[in-house]
Amino acid sequence: MLNPRPALLAAVAAVMAINAAPAIADTHEDHTSVPTSPPVAEKREHSYTHHGITISDPYDWLYDKSYPEIDDEDVLDYVKAENAWFEAAMEPHGELTEALFTEMRARIKEDDSTVPQRRGDFLYWSEFEEGAQYRKYYRKLVAGGDAQLILDENELAEGLEYFRLGAFSISKSGRYLAYSTDTSGAERYTAVIKDLQTGELLADQIPEVRTGLTWVANDSALVYGPSNENWRTLEARLHVIGTPVADDVVLYKEEDESFSVGAGLSAQEDYLIIATGDNETSEVRFVSADNPTGPLTLVKARQKGVEYSVDIREGELFVWTNDEHINFRLAKAGVATPGEWETVIAGSDEFYLTDFELFKDFFVTEGRLNGLDQVQIRTYDAPTAAQPITFPEASYTAGLSNNPEYDQSVLRLTYESMITPDSVYDYDVSAASLALLKQQEIPSGYDASLYVTERTEVQARDGTMVPVSIVMRKDRAEILEAAGIEGPGPLHLYAYGAYGYAVPPGFSTTRLSLVDRGFAYAIAHIRGGDDLGRRWYLQGKMFERTNTFNDFVDAGRGLIAQGFTAEGMVTASGGSAGGELMGAIVNQDPAQYGAVVAHVPFVDVLNTMLNEELPLTPGEWQEWGNPITDKAAFAYILSYSPYDQVKAQDYPPMLVTAGLNDPRVTYWEPAKWVARLRDVKTDDNVLLLKTNMGAGHGGQSGRWNSLRETAEEFAFILWQMGMTGEE
């Protein structure tokens, strides 16, 4: 199924004027020396007015107006000064950071590999070699023979500060591999084509690729989504191998800049499906994959608030849509009459249908029932009679994995829980049996019997019951007593709460570094995610956005009341839109938290939503509201925007991260927020800002670099909770 809903997380950041005054007051000219106090950003007079409301924004200058080029020396000096202060503050805890990194790394099988999966005549898999930062990709003939190395990320990343593999697309014949890479973190990928018979790269090179690489026309051409100057994907283009990129054909062009375009193949790979949509509205077209420049067939014209996605099998369209029920239904139509939808599976208040996948002799529906993942096998003759796949635990996360073959009798699945490591299963459809192929190995040792997981509910202030998943050691009380900690001990609370993303109650090896020291670790399934169905998501967006923040605060308060932790012993973290959450909860209830970590936080919400030139802003108005045209949206966003709501009060210790090349939440959002916090907060608690100078939204690349950043985060939390083990 091709889902036209863009995979957007939080939007990027802020606005307004510039001048040439010095960037940093009362701080250090020489950043090679060790700072003894945090930098203080200069306040420069700046304000703007919308809907008769004037807003003062004295840190607007931190937004380099030459963005995406960032060359303002004042801005760079300030960011570097904050980094120097971060390094100075964390240096005394370097041994703890290193110890955490060492134990986290010891839980990872360094020479690990994925389970081979068949596509066509080959089995494909990837491997990490011991010590390597990146993967190698292999294949071998199903009939037998030697393994063939088809791509080595380590070789591609050699000498680079940042590297990320984007699309990875094998042609139907198996001869070609098209892949894309990002070497700055700016999410502007370059695509190339490798001939797997000769091992050589073709001359073709496609710059500024944003989404997918889809093979069509008997492996002679690729369909891709280019990125425009504002990181928006408004076209589906066709590149024919061996022709200049300048001659690439635009198959579809979207006129609405709030929409985003994507493309993929149908189940039998005979149709190219091109979808466009924003966060609440969809429109889909299709054409023969053998003749991609032919006329596109529109499935159904866009209707605001109606989402749908399409797959095609044996001349029938299958349509996943919310047109009749908030939790979606599955419908079908003929290829000749694509807009005439007949219900196959009706929408349900109990079962939230999230996905489907078509195979030759059966199809699979995925969804959630009472917040728990469901995978169901269904036949085309009797589609309402679901054969559910049963899993061994009461709380878990599970779903289809990579199943590239249309004619399959065995399905590849993934499964894990908060105490069960990531597991790969094959499910024999005819025998209705699960076979475990691989479970994540933890070389340093892991005994699941030492841990307990539970799911509780906490009542939010409006009476809504919010689920919370928790994991902790069974001997937690003894661990805390040995550490000299009285009372129920610390609890780390995590959530995201936006875009309908449900944080799964899955397994984490890094989390054990807190849990084994006596922390309880909790995931709050707050509104804004779709954990309990589509309505759960809608109750946390637009003019109900503050439900998300209230749910998190109330979840922490409820866990204190239930005896899991105590006042000031809750630590919290979140990233991107979850970073916005962190900004809102410390404004609302700072006393609850002993430490807060906000990764690439979307905290300057009002300025970002007012700046339609920023990469993601037009596509985000359906999530947050459009304050440019809507006075009510302006006032509502202003009422919770973390940057705008910073006030003179005590704040908890905080660690904030950013990426200089981040196109989603640009560096100046966290920079401005930290600057304002430093100016007005009334406490002496630690406030740190770390900006990755060569990375983007996801932080550093490479598995060990990323792991070290997690070790830094946990060292900060343990430091603030007085649990470093240091004298």
List, by residue number, the catalytic residues: 576, 662, 697
The token duo for 582 is: 């962190």
* Contact status, residue 557 vs residue 479, Cβ threshold 8 Å: no
User: What distance in Å separates the CA atoms of residue 435 and residue 304, rounded to the nearest whole number?
Assistant: 44
Strand partners, 397: 416
* Contact status, residue 372 vs residue 351, Cβ threshold 8 Å: no
Which of 155, 203, 196 has its CA nearest to residue 173?
A: 196
Placement of tokens 């600057």 in the chain: 675
Which of 253, 293, 292, 294 has its CA nearest to residue 276?
A: 253
Q: What share of the chain is helix, strand, coil (3-state, %, to 5)?
A: 20, 30, 45
CA distances to 136, 195, 543, 589 from 549, rounded to whole Å, are: 42, 51, 13, 10
* Contact status, residue 673 vs residue 687, Cβ threshold 8 Å: no
DSSP state of 527: B
* Contact status, residue 691 vs residue 632, Cβ threshold 8 Å: no
Name the CA radius of gyration of the chain, rounded. 26
**Is it true that the peptide bond before 642 is cis, omega within 30 degrees of 0?**
no
Which of 166, 178, 175, 172 has its CA nearest to residue 148?
A: 175
* Contact status, residue 592 vs residue 569, Cβ threshold 8 Å: no
User: What distance in Å separates the CA atoms of residue 388 and residue 375, rounded to the nearest whole number?
Assistant: 6
Consecutive H or E run containing 157: helix 153-157
φ, ψ at 474 (rounded to 5°) = -65, -30
DSSP state of 591: G
Q: 21-28: which pairs have CB atoms within 8 A and are 24 or more residues apart?
A: 21/61, 21/74, 22/74, 23/61, 23/73, 23/74, 23/75, 23/77, 23/78, 24/74, 24/77, 24/78, 24/81, 27/81, 28/81, 28/84
* Contact status, residue 604 vs residue 641, Cβ threshold 8 Å: yes
Helices (H), 273-406: none
Strand partners, 353: 367
User: What distance in Å separates the CA atoms of residue 189 and residue 227, rounded to the nearest whole number?
Assistant: 9
User: What distance in Å separates the CA atoms of residue 367 and residue 534, rounded to the nearest whole number?
Assistant: 11
* Contact status, residue 320 vs residue 277, Cβ threshold 8 Å: no
Bridging pattern class, strands 654-659 and 593-599: parallel
The token duo for 188 is: 């502007």
Where does residue 439 rank: exposed (0-12), middle (13-18), buried (19+ CB within 10 A)? middle
Placement of tokens 């100057």 in the chain: 229
**Is it true that the peptide bond before 68 is cis, omega within 30 degrees of 0?**
yes
| 3 state SS of 101 | helix
